[in-house]
Each structure stands twice: as structure tokens, then as C-alpha cells.
Amino acid sequence: MKKVSVITVNFNQAEVTRALLLSIKNTNTYRNIEIIVVDNGSEADPAIKHSALFPDVIFIRSAINLGFAGGNNLGISKATGDYYFLVNNDTEFTPGLVQKLVEVLDDHPNAGIISPRINYFADPELIQYAGFTPINYFTGRNNTIGKYQRNGNYFNGITRPTAYAHGAAMMVKKEAIEKAGLMFENYFLYYEEMDWCERMKRAGYHIWMRGDAVIYHKESATVGKNSQIKAYFMNRNRLLFTRRNAPPFAALVFYVYFMLVVVPRNIWNYIKAGDYNYITVLFKAIWWNMRNKKDSKQLGISLKASA
């Protein structure tokens, strides 16, 4: 039986993290498991509050906020499992979740990452994710399969490769990380898992989704559903992802499309909504990419180097 390291990152959300740990405790039947909570520089250390209730959980604390990729990479560096199940702290498990994902990775040697179907916690019948389509590098867009659908039973019979895993919940083989490297930390927030999937594919692995393995997601509990932080990193990292992964001609077309279509459209929408500060945020995201051109070439540290 493969050992699974469940890794989650906390940032000022101790009660949200507690709910996740309780859901694992109440639903998980997979025996060979360890749970790691990485605190990303929160104001209060969650270990002080929760270690007595969860004595088997490994609590790791970073003095600073390392971002999504950095926090998970820190957890991976301390993990001892064969598979790493990276989950957002604002998710909750369902029975059989870990076992179902392990089965796919066990049965398919070329499977490097697998995500479960993700449903919204606030509306448990509503689907958030059942796979992704490939990104169109000319526009930097793709689609989420199943999003806002309620026909969950349809996806129960589907286990298949998909274009990308979902960062809220993805189980990864240790051997795949040893070949592809850890997540690229300069994203800080958003797009890092898609970049990771591209590197996994270049290393010879496939990305999978299992529809009858379900996790519930509270979505954006840390940064908020709409915030200037989210707008900044979504725009900044959309450009960064394209720089790192798109073929040269497609990247050129995307830059023209972004500056002549996306930027004017977003500015107009911000003006109509009265969100004038978001205009500054948009240009900060563009300026970051202009100032950090070398960042697109870095591949991230290896698993062995981080140990």
C-alpha cells in the first residue's frame, strides 16, 4: 500500500483548516497516510490551537508567506509519502476520496497527477471542476469541464486524462516530481499548478481526473472571491504562464491580443463598476512581467535539492 502525504497550507484561516482536518478524521479510511499542515506566516500559529485535537498531524511553520507553491513545496520537502495529496485548506473530504485517487495512480504508470471532481461546499450538488480543456495560447483561455452543472452522476463513471489538474485538490506521484521538479514559486498565487502540469507532461506524464472521487471546496476563503490581490495575480500570472509555456508565435499573438483587447475591456469594466483601483492593479501586473523577464526561464528547484 502506497503511503499518502496529505499536505495543506494555512494562512490566517485556523478554523477553516480545523474543519478540513475534522473532515479527514471523520471520512478517511485509507490507512497509510500522514497529514502535514504548513502555516504560511499567519499572525497566530494554528499548531498552538489544534495540535492537542490532532496529535498525529505534522505542523510546520514558515516565518513568511511563501505563497501557494512555496508553502506546498515546503510541505513536500518534509513529507515521507509515495504520493502527495495537495489540498486547499478550504476543502472538505468525502468517504473513499484518497483510496479512489490512489487506485488511478497505482493502475496507470503514466499518470503523474490526478484531481477529484470538485463541488462547491455551499451548494454540494453544483460542480466546480471535472477536468480542464487545453489552453488556447493565442488567447490564454481554456474551459473548465462540468462547471456549474448539477449532473454529478454523469461524471461518476468517468475517469480519464485531462489537460490540467485543479490546484484545490491534486494527488501527485513522488517520482513525477523527481523528474519534473517542484512547483515554480514565482507565481505565488494562481496558475502554478497549470505550469506544473505542463512540466509534468513534458516529463512524460499524463494528468487525470476521477469523477466519482469528490471533494467540496469553499473557494477563495483566503483572498476573497473578488479582490485586488486576486485580480493582480490572475493578470500577472496569465502573462507569466504564457511566457513560460507558449510557442513563440502563439505568445506574440497573445501579447497583441492582451494589450489591444483584454486591457481595454478590463479597464472599461472597472470604470463601469467604479473599481478605479483595479486599473492600477492591472498595470502593476503588466509592469511586473516587464521587470522580471528572467523569471520566465527558471524551472524551479528539484525535489532532491529541497530535501
Q: Is the pLDDT of residue 293 over 90?
A: no
The CA-to-CA distance between both ends of the chain, in Å, stands at 23
Residue 213 grid coordinates: 472521487
Mean pLDDT of 259-272: 95
The per-residue pLDDT for 285 is 95
CA-to-CA distance for 201 and 2, rounded, in angstroms?
Answer: 23
- Residue at 81: amino acid letter: G
The per-residue pLDDT for 307 is 44
Nearest to 75 by CA among 154, 150, 4, 147: 4
| Site of grid cell 492593479 | 281
The rounded mean pLDDT for the chain is 92
Q: What's the CATH number for 4-223?
A: 3.90.550.10
CA-to-CA distance for 159 and 168, rounded, in angstroms?
Answer: 18
Q: Which SS3 state, helix, strand or coil, does residue 199 take?
A: helix
| Site of grid cell 508565435 | 249
Q: Is the pLDDT of residue 298 over 80?
A: no
Question: Which range (16-25, 74-83, 157-166, 286-295) has the least confidence?
Answer: 286-295
Q: Give the pLDDT confidence of 43-65 residue by residue, as tens digits.
A: 888 887 788 889 999 999 999 99
- Residue at 143: amino acid letter: N
CA-to-CA distance for 277 and 226, rounded, in angstroms?
Answer: 13
CA-to-CA distance for 38 and 10, rounded, in angstroms?
Answer: 6
Nearest to 175 by CA among 101, 81, 86: 81
The per-residue pLDDT for 225 is 63
The per-residue pLDDT for 305 is 46
CA-to-CA distance for 160 and 255, rounded, in angstroms?
Answer: 33
- Is the CB of residue 196 less than 8 Å from the CB of residue 187? no
Mean pLDDT of 241-247: 95
Listed by start position, the domains of the chain span: 4-223, 228-297
Q: Give the pLDDT confidence of 84-96 residue by residue, as tens digits.
A: 999 999 999 999 9
- Is the CB of residue 38 less than 8 Å from the CB of residue 9? yes
Nearest to 9 by CA among 156, 180, 135, 188: 188
On the 0-12 / 13-18 / 19+ scale of CB atoms within 10 A, 231 is buried
CA-to-CA distance for 220 and 227, rounded, in angstroms?
Answer: 10
Q: Give the pLDDT confidence of 160-213 residue by residue, as tens digits.
A: 999 999 999 999 999 999 999 999 999 988 999 999 999 999 999 999 999 999
Q: Give the pLDDT confidence of 114-162 residue by residue, as tens digits.
A: 999 999 999 999 999 999 999 999 999 999 999 999 978 889 999 999 9
